[in-house]
Structure 1
Amino acid sequence: MRVEAVGLPASWCRIHLDRVSHNLERALALVPDGRSFCAVLKADAYGHGIDRIVPIVREQGVGTVGITSNQEAFAVRAAGFDGRLIRLRAAVPEEIEGALEARVEEQVGSRQAALHLRALANAGRLRTPLHLALNAGGMARDALDISTEPGRVLCREILDAVGGHVGGICSHFASNTPDALPRASALFQGEVAWVLANSDLRREALLVHVGSSLTLVAETPVETDMYRCAAVLYGILRPEWGFVPTMDVEARVVSLQDYPAGTPVGYDHATRLSRASRLACVSIGYQNGFDRGAGGRSDVVVRDRFAPVVGKVSMNAIVVDVTDVPRVAVGDTVAIFGGGQAQAIAPAQAERQFATIMADLYSDWGLRNPRHYG
């Protein structure tokens, strides 16, 4: 397949909104009766564009969205979402105040946050419930550890300060393996029980939530009122269950040259050709999210065939050996992720090639490259 060069950048992302909708529908079907679903739209909806994903979330009746930054919060509101908006990390006082207009439900897990939030409440400026964040053997990131007596003392202080505004208790599982998940779930529920026994909070008035996409597809029952999910929306998990990738990353062939055997390729002459070869220069590099360390261990798809990347990755270009790919022409589209009808770079292969997870890749690609929607 070829693309017209006019109006197209050197590399780009193709976002398949119909696939996002398909994935969300399948994910919602997995949510047990009586539980709810939070669509996590961090990192500009994993690089897909909050303004384009929010309408899909609204169409399918999702009532809660998770974000981390104020920019994301206001983008969600600007896209027409009027439901619950929960920040999925701690925030500094300036962030909290800056997000008041967007009606963000904040986490509280520290004395400083509790005192600031109490001051806002006393001034009549806090209009949303708070979520008490418990570590519960989890990430040790920003949540309160109540496994020690000092932690329990601090928890009581926080509840004395803002307990009347707490509408949720939350945590985050560090692992969702079959062995780890039941233990983590039991630990979290035990800590929730301690909080309830040592405060005026009532379980029926609380949203107790823990778990992510990995929890939802883990086939291990956990106690949670809500699943906070992103990965399933974008087809990162469980392809065997019908979840499909939602982004293609593409560039184009900008040059074709023939070189004899023994020719060195790229910076530092890290590669030498073992045979006479036809090499294509492709218009993507580490500036566009093709990791510099991926040269020499990655394939792309050219004319529905896998072709290896040779030499080191440059800022704006990679070199691809197309010797075994017939009829390659300047201007041809090259699939960096996704691909044609017969061959495609699937998530598992991309994670191996780039030595990271798809959440990282999607976010990076989507934020570095122009997006085209279909």
Structure 2
Amino acid sequence: MLSIFVCLRLYLLGCAVIMLISCSLLLFSSSTILPVRARTKKQKGALETILFIRHELMVACESASHAAGDEPIVVGGHKGVIQRGPKAPNDSATITKKSTGWEVLMYLGMALRIDETMCALAAMAPKIVAVLSPEGENSGVWISVEKEENRPILEAFYDGLRKAGLHTHGYSEFMDTARWSVCLIDVTDGMLLPCVADIKIGYIRHSPHTPPEKMARIQKKRLIQPLAIRLCGALHHFYRTISNEQCIERETCEKDIGYLLHKDEDHRRCLRAFFSSTVSMKQEGSGNKCSDSEVLSARLKACCRHVEKLLSFFTSSVGCALLERTAFVSTSLLLLYDAVSCVSDKVGNNDAADVRVYLIDYARVSDRRLNFTEENIGFLRGLENFLFLIS
């Protein structure tokens, strides 16, 4: 994805091509008549302009060629874990991440469409492209989930992980450590000004079998989330008008931002700021007035529809059956939209409301018998509270 700087630079240099052509005509229309030493100052200036613009065009094109390999957008606590992946068969950008056996089991269940539950869940999660087993890590051979000839080996992976999970009675090195890798579609691909937020769902993000060292790290921050949600991080683009010109500002919120939000109103203000294209998410921007209320309202309503769909699934008979056998521990809602939809006054609410919501982070999603009760985990309560805060 091209950076804003590269896009702007290419645009300006594209406009400068007109100047390049004009200067070329000025220089070369008389170059056959005058020797080099006899050229006028105006012609020499034109030559310098041509050389400068050519240099800038080469630099911009070089930057653009490197943009495709830009680091993926990572918010929350996954920096260094998520990498840029190979292109998908449909030429979409991808990301790769190290995964536990539990997470791979979930994604393979969705990819293989094992049952009605996994089919429904697949529509709410980023699409998996390929999987890399621990044995295949040295060779780097990814197994594509889209190739029909790979289905037998993918089914073998799934069955092996499922059986390992059934025979797990506590912390399992095989299931609980990130020995696998998954390649997922980059859901920000194609966005010009992506806004992304990671919302951790649930009161807790540990189980009775969480290793002591992991528990110690959790307790240093906050063991229980009172509202069953926590903002883990965000990337936000918004606009400020300076000297009658619209300027784009980019802000990043690290994972500690969630620990600074205590009351309902704190969360509500921060979430509304994320969906606004005129207000900063940072505390110092809390006094700024939102000047894009219609766009903000459209985005909030679109987000509500996605979360309501999630809740509707998990409270249905199929979803309840899934929750009875599976504990959704430490999962997240990934919220995203393209802030470029707010640039033009001609953009309608339908464009601005192109908000996407995904359920991600299945690394700790495992058998219910290995975890606390749903009342203690608070997965459903977190979804309900999030919906309340943005409604």
* TM-score, structure 1 as length reference: 0.22
Which has the greater radius of gyration? 2
Hey, which of these two has a bigger chunk of strand by percent?
Answer: 1
* TM-score, structure 2 as length reference: 0.22
